[in-house]
Chain A
Amino acid sequence: MSKDLQMRAAINQKLIEMGERERLKELLRAKLIECGWKDQLKAHCKDVIKEKGLEHVTVEDLVAEITPKGRALVPDSVKKELLQRIRAFLAQHSTL
């Protein structure tokens, strides 16, 4: 595994161990609801379901359809905030 991937894995491990990943996930969830991201994607999901037909659509269809849009619609402010929190966390646990 490349050094970059190794570093990512190590960071991820630390985040999980300290419970920080859960906290970040909850914070992210709250922020994404607040800014209307969840509502937007939910509406998009419903459109996809209508298009494909309720009886035939699979979770995979939805994941494939909404992932690019979901990624693009995350506001920069949210990304910045999460990044800042991760940085702060890493600074605190500088053994990495």
Chain B
Amino acid sequence: GVPRLVEWHKQRATSGFAAPSSPNQSECSHLQKLHRGSSFSSPVVEHVSSSSSSSLKTKTSIEPKGKHGTGALDVASAMSPAACSHVNGFKVDNWKQNLRVIYRCFVWSGSAETRKRKAKSCVCHVCGAHLSRLHSCLYCVFFGCFAKKHIHEHAKSKRHNLAIDLLYGGIYCFVCQDYIYDKDMEQIAKEEQRKAWKLQGTSHLFAPAGIGERYSTWEPTKRELELLQHNPKRRRITTNCTIGLRGLINLGNTCFMNCIVQALTHTPLLRDFFLSDRHKCEMKPNSCLVCEMSQLFQEFYSGHRSPHIPFRLLHLVWTHARHLAGYEQQDAHEFLIAALDVLHRHCKGDDNGKKANNPNHCNCIIDQIFTGGLQSDVTCQVCHGVSTTIDPFWDISLDLPGSSTPFWPLSPGSDGSVVNGESQMSGATTLTDCLRRFTRPEHLGSSAKIKCSGCHSYQESTKQLTMKKLPIVACFHLKRFEHSAKLRRKITTYVSFPLELDMTPFMASSKESRMNGQYQQSMDTLNNDNKYSLFAVVNHQGTLESGHYTTFIRQHKDQWFKCDDAIITKASIKDVLDSEGYLLFYHKQFLEYE
């Protein structure tokens, strides 16, 4: 087969969203909940000992309810651990209101006034310390530290046997000598905590980008508990387990699709999104690619070791991306862009109600993960006025040496500086070289004059591309397939790429500071926003006429595997870095919080 290369315009054609039809509530039969926010750590599945009847009870007791102060489970009281009998002495008269006041003033202070009071008064009455696990007596106004046992002394001498942890709101019983979990008290605690959060407003530091809720421990719903009970088998994630790895059958030159599927199923944020069931479908059943993707993740994380047959995926791709239909070999890069586009279009239901006024800036998971902003500055050579546009992008296509367009030299006067640990003089072309070339100022020439709004006439100009906004996953496409008028060939020039990549030199902001005369600070270890880690590499072996795609993917932070259709084998980092490289997938090392 012949890999075809279609020019992908930087500005995606805006296509209307699919018309909403009858809602399709997807309910997955396997239930695997994940913690939000884990990047490279493996997906955590709650491990419950498979010893029968006590399993769910075990789970409820292990949850650190004392520490969080919330966590009254919505289950039949037979399930929740009984609170101790010593609280009965406390639960008299107006105890609920008294307890609320304590939470509001000393544990979760929502208003400025209560905060001030808390700041002033919450110190140990014995030693004045404020940081040794301060507790407040529930029977009188006394604060004592736990670590130094001052609250214990008070409890003993006054026979006040209940105290509350001022950090997390847990209730401690000195008779039982442990934290206790009383359903009524927990309810009050939860309510007061929510109230305090509301008072503090939606602070920008409280929520990871795109989720918009404050962190709280996951608690299963009734339905989820049922499912957990009916499906008692659990899977333990260890550092060596191979969950998430699965081969894909080649359905006839479909390795171009398989290799991309492997990269996508190993994109941590995407995996977390799908395994947390975050997709709400608004399309006809069996026509939504996002639903199919969700199914695919279920298949990959099911633990089945036999290769998966992605015939439904292939069919959906053919339906929604006609130009890829047929049994010929296609270009993997083209497939990636088409797949992202269809997924983006089908994600309409996940917008959380926010109207996507601008189709280029919707809040779907695809945009959140893959969309970056490319800044294009056109500078008039006469008046030096700059015209700036920012276009969204899903990938960066890089020219290579050996193509018909000249690669060297780079920007005039470029220094042989060391970037990303690679020196320009070393001989082998590096990814950084390609990026430097991509972001160099380019003379547009006298035959391509631009209308300058400052000069009101056509002038010669230079154009420069820089990164305005970096996506969480950056995909670099090495343009190995050349299709010029004369020749069609594959460029096999070796390009070395790093395991860790710093995009700082290519940022629009870096360009600005260079122009303002501020030289780049030596790598500030705290400016981590532009650092990336390699997690997937798609390779093409063979020629333009007949070739084969494979993917290296990263698992458990430092283990790599080669995915060759149905065959998965262990690979070394050296194998990965020595490979030719066609599509390089990098993941941001540190997630920014909006």
Contacts and interface: CB of A to CB of B under 8 A. Distances in A.
Interface of A: 1, 5, 8-9, 12-14, 16-19, 22-23, 26-27, 29-30, 33-36, 38-39, 45-46, 49, 54, 58-60, 77, 80-81, 84
Interface residues on B, range: 35 or more
A59 to B, nearest CB: 5
B179 A59 contact: yes
Interface in B202-228: 203, 205-206, 208, 214-215
B130 A9 contact: yes
A19 B525 CA distance: 27
B119 A23 contact: no
Contact of A9 (B35, B62, B67, B128): B128
B141 interface: no
A19 B191 CA distance: 19
Contacts, number: 85
A16 B215 contact: no
B116 interface: yes
Nearest to B204: A23
A71 to B, nearest CB: 14
A54 to B, nearest CB: 6
B208 A16 contact: no
A81 B525 CA distance: 10
A58 B173 CA distance: 12
A26 to B, nearest CB: 5
Interface in B108-142: 109, 112, 115-116, 118-120, 122-123, 128-131
B501 to A, nearest CB: 18
Nearest to B205: A23
A23 to B, nearest CB: 5
A39 B45 CA distance: 11
B206 A26 contact: yes
A10 to B, nearest CB: 10
B38 A80 contact: no
A46 B47 contact: yes
A17 B112 contact: yes
Nearest to A42: B44
Interface string B156-178: 00000000000000100000011
8 contacts: A1-B128, A16-B119, A30-B208, A30-B215, A54-B61, A58-B178, A59-B178, A80-B525
B215 A39 contact: no
A3 B112 CA distance: 27
A10 B239 CA distance: 44
A54 B48 CA distance: 13
A25 B33 CA distance: 24
Contact of B38 (A13, A26, A33): A33
B39 A34 contact: yes
A22 B200 contact: yes
Contacts of B454: none
Given A13-B119, A30-B208, A80-B526, A36 B131 contact: no
Contacts of A12: 119, 130-131
A21 to B, nearest CB: 9
A16 B61 contact: no
B593 interface: yes
Contact of A39 (B41, B119, B203): B41
Contacts of A19: 112, 115, 200
Contacts of A16: 109, 115, 118-119, 122
Contact of A17 (B64, B116, B177, B208): B116
Nearest to B208: A30
Nearest to A25: B167
Contacts of A80: 525-526
A17 B115 contact: yes
A37 B593 CA distance: 18
Contacts of B200: 19, 22
B507 to A, nearest CB: 20
The 7 closest A-B pairs by CB, nearest first: A36-B41, A16-B119, A13-B119, A58-B178, A17-B119, A33-B37, A59-B179
Interface in B99-114: 109, 112
A54 B58 contact: yes
Counting chain B CB atoms within 10 Å of each CB, the highest count among A49, A58, A59 belongs to A59
Given A9-B130, A30-B208, A39-B41, 5 more contacts: A5-B129, A13-B119, A19-B112, A54-B61, A60-B177
Given A54-B58, A84-B526, A14 B119 contact: yes
A49 to B, nearest CB: 7
A30 B41 contact: no
B372 interface: no
Nearest to B36: A33
Contacts of B356: none
A30 B66 CA distance: 20
Interface hub of B35, B61, B118, B119 (most chain A Cβ within 10 A): B119
Contacts of B58: 54
Contacts of B119: 12-14, 16-17
A45 B115 CA distance: 33
Nearest to A37: B41
A58 B177 contact: yes
A46 B40 CA distance: 22
